[in-house]
Amino acid sequence: MKFPEDLLYTESHEWVKVGDSTLRDGGSQVTIGLTDYAQSQLKDIVYVDIPEVGSEFKKGDSMGVVESVKTVADIYSPMTGKVTDENFTLKDHPQFVNEDPYGKGWLVKMEIRDREELKGLLSSKAYQGSLPPPYRGRYPEDARRHWRQESGGPLPDHSQRSQAFQTFEPS
């Protein structure tokens, strides 16, 4: 699972890229999408309803819907602003959100109204810390390696395994 460090994140699992830069002061144009974690929880995405160019939203407003074979979920606006571009390819290829959430799966571009709202977004590290285990950068193969190094033995049975994964902190 990927959490690019050049993006900002919301607790509702949207990502934000500021302009063409990786800095919070890179302009008033942002690109918005769903995080790798969000798409992994939704599973196979079959439909994406995104707003039209010219639509305006306040931070926290529902700005669209993503539908998977598993569920339907709202997409929330991480910023106050006006939609300047939409990813038209998602109408015919909604699976791009699953296949490439930070690339071909982007949702919309917005002209933001208040740059101060960027300060309320999360860094990659803070976003990962907000996720439930095992998504906090804790991957099963790392936990197994950690368990072997700490205990010197094989991976424990199921009742002990959950403790091993919860206590693992990557180095």
Q: Domain of 32: which CATH number?
A: 2.40.50.100
Q: Which residues contact 153 (CB under 8 A, 6 or more apart)?
A: none
Report if residue 2 sits inside a domain: no
Q: Using a cut of 0.85, tell me whether the model's pTM lies above it.
A: no
Q: Are residues 21 and 90 in the same domain?
A: yes
Report if residue 17 sits inside a domain: yes
CA dihedral angle for residue 95, residue 58, residue 53, residue 45, rounded to 10 degrees: 10
- Evaluate whether 18 touches 2 at the Cβ level (below 8 Å): no
Q: Are residues 63 and 104 in the same domain?
A: yes
Report if residue 35 sits inside a domain: yes
Q: Are residues 48 and 73 in the same domain?
A: yes
The span from the CA of 99 to the CA of 139, in Å, is 20
Q: Are residues 44 and 121 in the same domain?
A: yes
Q: At what angle do helices 140-151 and 158-167 cross, to 10 degrees?
A: 100
Q: Are residues 112 and 142 in the same domain?
A: no
pLDDT of residue 20: 61
Secondary structure of residue 104 in the 3-state scheme: coil
pLDDT of residue 161: 39
The span from the CA of 10 to the CA of 52, in Å, is 22
pLDDT of residue 138: 44
CA-based end-to-end distance of the chain: 17
Report if residue 86 sits inside a domain: yes
pLDDT of residue 92: 96
One digit per residue, the tens of pLDDT, for the chain of length 171 reads 889 999 999 999 999 999 764 445 556 899 999 999 999 999 999 999 999 999 999 999 999 999 999 899 999 999 999 999 999 999 999 999 999 999 999 999 999 999 999 999 999 999 998 888 766 554 444 444 444 445 555 544 444 434 434 444 444
The span from the CA of 80 to the CA of 92, in Å, is 28
Q: How many domains does the chain have?
A: 2
pLDDT of residue 88: 95
pLDDT of residue 132: 84
Report if residue 97 sits inside a domain: yes
pLDDT of residue 136: 59
Q: Are residues 96 and 148 in the same domain?
A: no
Report if residue 169 sits inside a domain: yes
State the residue range of the domain holding 54.
8-130
